[in-house]
Amino acid sequence: MPQIFRTRTNGLSRLLIAATLLFLVVGASAGFMLSFSPYNTGQGAVPEQPVPFSHKHHVGALGIDCRYCHTSVERSSFAGLPDTQTCMTCHSQLWTNAEMLAPVRQSLKQDQPLAWTRVHDMPDFVYFNHQAHTENGVACQSCHGRVDKMPLMRQARPLTMRWCLECHRNPGPQLREPDQITAMVGEKRNDPAKSRRLLKQYDIHTSRMTECVTCHR
């Protein structure tokens, strides 16, 4: 029987198959890495705001508590965004003619709220309750990072399902005493004994925290 293909065709076929497999492996790996990269998760993003509000100045330098502006964080699923009246409590006396605060003055004059852009915006299919976390010892810093060092607010964590589950499986290191929830402090070394004590204090049962209905309702 006459030979249809040349001998070197076998080598080219093997090379083509190997290249195809390599392309698929590299493509799949790149896709996997991209899905968890800051480009996709938004980690580190600094959305544009109507006013360049500095948490570094207000929280870090002036020591204003998170709850002064985010008034419903302890009693609602939504932390709440500061209304114009809250801003004007101080700025009716301080920096009254600052150009950067013109949107605040205009908001007060027109009785229209400032259109703040949410920095930590969970997908609609995710149920997140701030009250459930703050009442059970999870500090603001655990999810929002050291806001007292942020001139402009940025997304400090990836907010992925994997990241949430890591905490739900082992929440102990993230827990604090009730009077320390809003405090901004340096990262401390994990203390297993303290974690166990706080888990018991808040009556947290991790066996139920990874059920689908916890976050998807």
* The pLDDT value given to residue 177: 95
Question: Can you tell me the distance from the alpha carbon of 71 to that of 69, in angstroms, rounded to the nearest whole number?
Answer: 6
- Report the b/e string of 73-100 with b at 16+ CB within 10 A: bbeeeebebbebeebbeebeeeeeeeee
Structure tokens at 4: 């249809």
- Inter-residue contact 163 to 111 (CB < 8 Å): no
- Inter-residue contact 50 to 115 (CB < 8 Å): yes
Helix and strand counts by DSSP (H, E) for the chain: 10, 0
3-state secondary structure of 114: coil
If phi > 0 it is left, if psi is from -120 to 50 it is alpha, else beta; for residue 213 that is alpha
- Sign of torsion, CA 90 91 93 94? positive
* The pLDDT value given to residue 42: 84
Q: Tens digit of pLDDT per residue, the chain (217 long)?
A: 555 556 666 666 677 777 777 777 776 666 656 555 666 788 999 999 999 999 999 999 999 999 999 999 999 999 999 999 999 999 999 999 999 999 999 999 999 999 999 999 999 999 999 999 999 999 999 999 999 999 999 999 999 999 999 999 999 999 999 999 999 988 777 789 999 999 999 999 998 899 999 999 8
Distances (CA, A) of 140 to 28, 79, 176, 183: 36, 10, 10, 8
**What percent of the chain is helix, strand and coil (3-state, nearest 5)?**
50, 0, 50
Indicate the residue type of 22: L
> Could you tell me which of 154, 143, 142 has the C-alpha nearest to residue 56?
154
* The pLDDT value given to residue 136: 96
Q: What is the pLDDT of residues 168-213, one digit of tens each?
A: 999 999 999 999 999 998 877 778 999 999 999 999 999 889 999 9
